[in-house]
Amino acid sequence: MKYLIIDLKLVIMKTFVLSLVVLCTSLISFSQTSYPCVKFYSTANLGGGDCQTTGTGSNKYYPGYLTQTADPNYTPTGKFVIYFKSPIPVGVAAPEITSAGIDDGSGNILLPGYDYKYAAYKDDITTVRSTVTYCYYGSSSNQNIFNGSKAPFLAFKILYSLSDTSTCGGVTAVPSTLPVNFKIFTATRSNSSNSLKWTTSFESNNKGFYVQRFYNGQWTNVAFIASKGEGGFSSEDLNYTYSEVFNFKGVVQYRILQTDIDGRSKLSEIRSLSSGIQVNNVLIYPNPSAVSGSVSIVLADAAATYDIQVLDNAGRVVKEYVSVRNTQQVSSLPKGQYLARVTEKLSGLVSVEKFIMQ
């Protein structure tokens, strides 16, 4: 019986030691793989959104959790959508933002002169998350410096509550003032095929791109190209292409309508293509003009430069534009008939088109 008790104690001790080794190994592995830092972010105004507090005084409720003790004098100001370098695994709570401020270029945080608190909103630890929405709350003297035209390049320091050693920070990110940065946009024609290529150097909250074509006086959506960024986010160059067979006479134009996940949009520059069988180098639309009294003079060769003169019925020059590329808008003219005299500067080729302002 004595030996049996000793053996039993040894078994229990071995089991305990083995469990402790496994636990320590798991914790080491966890600390190495489960604490992703900030990759980049976007900001937004609240506008009565989910981050609003409820209740008053000591009963005021902050969605999510704060890095400091809740205070009834703090009010919701805005929110960050934080995108992490790798997904936060199941069972791990989103990190707390311990500070956020302007990056001095060396990874140091210059704290704003206003007091803020941060809360992760509706963090579901039962799923893997690449993004987490954080609300930020300011005292009565705060200013909303993190949004819109005032949005700085920010750095964050974050802390996972499961470990005191899991702080990471000094991460510079691009503010939401640049939801998508178009780096290149070109249009080329080969035989009867029109090909578009564009490159973005940064995307944030991007749903994708509508390819729009202008012909016969109207813009038409001809295709939708989804964002290649994971969740609509990317800090690297992404390349997109679109081609279509489109037989036309004269000039056709293309542009890209970039659309955010939240519904906001941004237009690219316009690119023009010529069928090569038009009589001259000019297309004027709308003709007659729109009620607003404005027309656009579209030039066939987007790479060439043109001089444009607008003449009235008496032959007088009433508008003149020098070294124009691609498109020239004409407005603020009295009602009547006009001539657009367009000279291609390199070849000297002159084209004349009549249009009506109404």
Task: Give the CA angle between residues 39, 41, 43 to the nearest 5°.
Answer: 170
Of 169, 203, 231, the residue at which a domain comes to its end is 169
CATH number at residue 258: 2.60.40.10
Asked whether residue 153 is assigned to any structural domain, the reply reads: yes
Asked whether residue 30 is assigned to any structural domain, the reply reads: no
Q: How far is CA 230 from the centre of its chain?
A: 12
Asked whether residue 16 is assigned to any structural domain, the reply reads: no
Of 253, 274, 295, the residue at which a domain comes to its end is 274
The answer to whether residues 110 and 153 belong to one domain is: yes
Provide the pLDDT for residue 7.
56
The answer to whether residues 132 and 223 belong to one domain is: no
| pTM higher than 0.75 | no
Domain of 298 in residue numbering reads as 282-357
Which residues are within 8 A (CB) of 157 and not within 5 positions of it... i.e. 6 or more apart? 97, 98, 99, 100, 109, 167, 168, 169, 170
Specify the pairing of strand 238-245 against strand 218-226: unpaired
- Would you state the structure tokens that stand for residue 22, as one six-digit string? 């496994």
- Would you state the structure tokens that stand for residue 1, as one six-digit string? 């019986």
The answer to whether residues 129 and 109 belong to one domain is: yes
Which residues are within 8 A (CB) of 164 and not within 5 positions of it... i.e. 6 or more apart? none
The answer to whether residues 218 and 240 belong to one domain is: yes
The answer to whether residues 58 and 162 belong to one domain is: yes
Q: How far is CA 56 from the centre of its chain?
A: 36
Asked whether residue 64 is assigned to any structural domain, the reply reads: yes
The answer to whether residues 230 and 346 belong to one domain is: no
Q: How many domains would you assign to the chain?
A: 3
Residue 109 near residue 99, CB atoms below 8 Å: yes
Asked whether residue 22 is assigned to any structural domain, the reply reads: no
Provide the pLDDT for residue 168.
64
Asked whether residue 18 is assigned to any structural domain, the reply reads: no
The answer to whether residues 70 and 164 belong to one domain is: yes
Asked whether residue 343 is assigned to any structural domain, the reply reads: yes
Provide the pLDDT for residue 223.
95
Of 230, 250, 274, the residue at which a domain comes to its end is 274
DSSP 282-344: EEEESSSPPTT-EEEEEES-TTS-EEEEEE-TTS-EEEEEEEE-SEEEEE---SEEEEEEEEE
Peptide bond into 286 cis (omega under 30): yes
Provide the pLDDT for residue 209.
95
Specify the residue for token string 């089991």: 15
> Could you state, in chain order, the average pLDDT of each consecutive group of 10 residues for the chain (358 residues)?
50 50 40 64 64 69 69 77 82 80 67 75 82 80 59 72 52 48 87 90 85 84 92 84 86 87 79 64 78 80 83 90 88 90 79 86
The answer to whether residues 213 and 288 belong to one domain is: no
Cross-strand bridge partners of residue 344: 306
At 243 the three-state DSSP class reads strand
The answer to whether residues 304 and 335 belong to one domain is: yes
Residue 279 dihedral angles phi and psi, to the nearest 5°? -70, -40
The answer to whether residues 80 and 161 belong to one domain is: yes
The answer to whether residues 43 and 104 belong to one domain is: yes
CATH number at residue 317: 2.60.40.1930
The answer to whether residues 153 and 91 belong to one domain is: yes
